[in-house]
Chain A
Amino acid sequence: MNVTSIQKLTRKGARISEILRPLLGAIIVIFLLYRLYDVFIVQQEYGPETWLRLAIAGLVIGSVYALIAIGYTLVYGILFMINFAHGEVMMLGAYSGFFVFEAFKAIKVSTDPLVTFSNAYPVLSVLIAFLVGMSVSALAGFSLERIAYRPLRKAPRLVPLIGAIGASIFLQNAAQLLFSPQLRDVTNPEILARGSGWGIMVNGSRVILPYTGVFTFFLSLILLAGLYLVVQKTRLGRSMRAVALDKKTASLMGIDVDRTISLTFLISGALAGAAGVMWGIHNGLVYYFVGFIPGIKAFTAAVLGGIGNLPGAMLGGLFLGLIESLGPAALGIDFQLKDVIAFVLLIIVLIFRPSGLLGERLAEEKL
């Protein structure tokens, strides 16, 4: 094989993809426009209040994904490792939140059965729940790293991935055996009752902005902002970025790589724990399998936004939630296919922008 034939081959290949991709893009855009036209102009099934409801639902779902995605992307950005067990760490946080609220039910505050501890001191009880949940999950993430990931740091990419999958399966089943497969319901303090919220009258119908939904949204924003500050402004953050850039050089520069990585997992775990407690408060359902699917969706969201990119995780999460919620309605497709839409979207984004929407890395990407 001489040089000119290689050149010809690559040129031909490049030309084909040059034509193919814009063509594919054009087809997709035309299809989307057609469907949107059909739904919005021709059939007009849904009034503005429904669209508003769908949008709110999408943002709320999206914030939950965003919360989980932030932890995922942090670990990936620093270690280039997909932490499959992140969903299970979140599940542990959710269970902790559940147990905390159950424990509160046992504390006698007054003779009136309706006045439980969590109802009397809502802010305090929520804070304690979050603290316990985040600590448990942080500890879990830390132990996970120490036991299952640290020894595998030098191994090829597939090995820690399988280790993470194994840890994920182990944690799921441990939770199932310990706590029974029964679905648990989290008892919120009354001001945060599920389903209640601020009402907006639109088009004669009452659209509700749920309390728990708003709480989730702002919580993810706050956590993201906090994490961003830590990564950009603090010394720990600098160590993280250095380790992400080049582990060996960072250790030569005097950074304790082991400690930095442990702290990364600690923080990522804490974030997952917050997401888990929030899940329990918002969705109310806690059981051993609760972390698996949201974990995958959150990972999808992180990839969508650009993996390793913190604001990208938030953006990806919200985007994914909106697509899941608005997509089927806007495209006139059955609601059962919302996950299909999400994954197809992912594929499309990765074809045209392989590094995700925001594209940027925590530090420069390692090839």
Chain B
Amino acid sequence: MKAKKLFVVMIVLSFLFTACQTSNSPTDSPSGSAGDGVPAVCASDAFGCAVFKKGDVIKIGMGAPMTGGDASYGIDISQGGMIAIQDFGELNGFKFTLVAEDDGGTAEGGAAVANKFASDPAVVAVAGHIYSGATSAAMPVYEKAGIPLLSPSASLPALTTMGSQVFNRIVFTDARQGPPAAEYLFNKLGKRKLAALHDGSDYGKGLAEAVAARFAELGGEVVITEAITKGETDYTPVLSAVAAKGPDALYFGGYTAEGAVIVNQMKQTGLEDIVFFGCDGTYGADFLSRTGANGENAFATIAPIPAESPEKAAFDAAYLEQFGKEAGSLSPYTWNGYDATGALISAVKSVAVLGNDGNLYVPRGALVTAVRTLKDYKGVGGTYSCDATGECNTLPPMFVVVKDGAWVPAE
């Protein structure tokens, strides 16, 4: 009996404790309240304002795989974003910060992180998510909460055709990555029998199917389309079954973790002479170091590496000094991470209002519109303007190939 009493006391105390906790964090001012100092724009905004008192931090969220096999992408892009915070992250004495949460690159993680961000009033925008699968699951949550997204890397075409008001991206869509890859395979490399593998994710599957479709249109034969299970270390059975069909090229939609394993195991399953064609998910220093000699002549598509400029040089130097690695070595989106975060910060700065009471008010609806109508934002990777559907980048991807253990542009 004593334990039960103690337990009740404890529960009551902890409820009280957590209730008191909330008075320390910034609260949403209900739209329509007419407290003095609250700007009028907050009352008329559909989603209300995020209120920041003196000393509060404005949070830009990012959902990315930070642990597990794909961690290098998340870590890399979030680090790019952190440098943007250092460079631009200050407004009228209010500081910005980047909150990078681990979504594992999966749909579940994306939804969980989205719920977390949506219930944190200090998060005004999200530079992400990084993986398309996570983004598509997270979008409905952000839609309801009025939090705009600007993704550096989620390239699934469907994301901008679902009528979302909040999603935007500065990366190319896979519609410009898939079919051109098929054309490259058919025309430039003269392949006629394609095996299309993917890892079952939104992104990988979408890509592989797009490539297969275009390849068939061009007159080639797609001998097999197969899904592999993400996270395994032995794909020899699947590859043997693929080899049985006699393809002369293998397209893989997925990420480096699996791509490297496939490349390494192609030799022993009868696929030695087959060309491996990857995507932007299989690019990076990781791929090179894990495939070694096996990776020679592997293709990939990537966001074009930004042209040299003083800003880029400054960014590269800062990145190397803080994180010990070359920018763009872990993933091709380091610069996009920087630009996306920077663009979001500038959008926040453009709509934020300093109230008479010294608080900073960020009207959420206006922010969503501001990100959607981004015009001529000059970033390291180019100048971005968003169209009505949320596509903000007009640059197409480029093809690269591994030659002598390094990624070089493919002709």
Residues in chain A within 8 A of chain B (CB atoms): 45-47, 49-50, 53-54, 57-58, 60-61, 176, 180-183, 185, 194-197, 205-208, 210, 283-285, 287, 289-290, 293, 324-326, 328-329, 334-336, 338-339
7 CB contacts below 8 A, A to B, read: A57-B269, A180-B71, A181-B71, A183-B69, A196-B268, A285-B233, A335-B226
- By beta carbon, the residue of chain B nearest A211 is B268
Residue of A nearest to B229 (CB): A336
A336 touches B200 (CB 8 A): yes
Residues on the A chain within 8 Å of B289, using CB: 185
Q: How far is the CB of A320 from chain B (nearest CB, A)?
A: 13
Q: Whole-angstrom distance between the alpha carbons of A194 and B289 in the complex?
A: 14
Whether A46 touches B268, Cβ cut-off 8 Å, given contacts A53-B236, A181-B67, A181-B71, is no
- Given A182-B71, A195-B265, 9 other A-B residues pairs in contact with their CB atoms under 8 A: A45-B244, A46-B244, A54-B240, A57-B237, A60-B236, A176-B67, A181-B68, A283-B233, A336-B227
Instruction: Write the nearest CB–CB distance from A335 to chain B, whole angstroms.
Output: 5
A321 to chain B, nearest CB (A): 9
A100 smallest CB distance to B (angstroms): 18
Structural contact, A197 and B241, CB atoms closer than 8 A:
no
Task: Determine if A53 and B243 form an interchain contact, defined as CB atoms under 8 angstroms apart.
Answer: yes
Contacts of A328 in B (CB 8 A): 237
State whether the Cβ of B349 lies closer than 8 Å to any Cβ in chain A.
Answer: no
Check if A49 sits within 8 Å of B257, measured CB to CB.
no
Q: Enumerate chain B residues within 8 angstroms of A293, measured Cβ to Cβ.
A: 231
Cα A289 to Cα B67 with chains together (Å): 10
Contact residues in B for A324 (Cβ distance below 8 Å): 237
Which residues from chain A contact B68 at a C-beta distance below 8 Å?
181, 289
Contacts of A60 in B (CB 8 A): 234, 236
In the bound assembly, the distance between CA atoms of A199 and B214 in angstroms comes to: 36
**A183-B257, A285-B233, A285-B261 given; A50·B268 CB < 8 A:** no
Contact A185 B290 (CB under 8 A): yes
B residues in contact with A49, CB < 8 Å: 244, 270
- Beta-carbon nearest neighbor of A45 in chain B: B244
Q: B261-309: which residues lie under 8 A (CB-CB) from chain A?
A: 261, 264-265, 267-270, 272, 286, 289-290, 294
Across the interface, A58 reaches (CB within 8 A) one of B228, B237, B290, namely B237
Q: How big is the B interface, by class?
A: 20 to 34
* B238 contacts the other chain (CB 8 A): yes
Query: With an 8 A cutoff between CB atoms, is B72 at the interface?
Result: yes
Report how far A223 CA is from B228 CA in the complex, Å.
32
Q: Is the CB of B268 within 8 A of A197?
A: yes
In the bound complex, residues from chain B placing their C-beta under 8 Å from that of A283 are 233-234
Cβ-defined partner of A50 (8 Å) among B67, B69, B244, B267: B244
Closest residue of chain A to B226 (Cβ to Cβ) is A335
B269 contacts which chain A residues (CB < 8 A)?
53, 57, 208
Residue in A185, A290, A334 whose Cβ sees the most chain B Cβ within 10 Å: A185
Within the assembled complex, what's the spacing in Å between the Cα atoms of A213 and B395? 46
Residues of B within 8 A of A326 (CB): 237
State A328–B235 Cα separation when bound (angstroms). Answer: 13
Q: A46 to B243, alpha carbons, bound, how many Å?
A: 10
Among residues of A, the one whose C-beta sits closest to the C-beta of B267 is A195
Q: Are A194 and B264 in contact (CB under 8 A)?
A: yes
Interface positions, chain B 238-264, Cβ under 8 Å from A, are 238, 240-241, 243-244, 257, 261, 264
Determine whether the beta carbon of A183 is less than 8 Å from that of B286. yes
**In the complex, what residue of chain B is closest to A202 when comparing beta carbons?**
B270
Given A285-B233, A336-B227, residue A53 in contact with residue B240 (CB < 8 A): yes
Alpha-carbon gap, A284 to B265, bound state (A): 11
CA A57 – CA B265 in complex, angstroms?
A: 11
| A-side contacts of B234, CB under 8 Å | 57, 60-61, 283
For B290, what are the chain A residues with a Cβ–Cβ distance below 8 Å?
183, 185, 284-285
* B89-121 near A? 1/0 per residue, CB < 8 Å: 000000000000000000000000000000000
Are B261 and A325 neighbours in the complex by a CB distance under 8 Å? no
A197 to B270, CA, bound (A): 12
CA distance A320 to B126 in the complex (A): 45
Given A207-B270, A335-B237, CB of A195 within 8 Å of CB of B244: no
Residue among A45, A57, A336 with max Cβ neighbours from chain B (10 Å): A57
A47 touches B67 (CB 8 A): no
Q: CB-nearest residue of chain B relative to A52? A: B240
B229 contacts across to A, CB distance below 8 A: 335-336, 339
Q: How far is the CB of A326 from chain B (nearest CB, A)?
A: 8
**Least Cβ distance of A95 to chain B in Å?**
15
Q: When chains A and B are docked, how far (Å) is the Cα of A196 from the Cα of B267?
A: 8
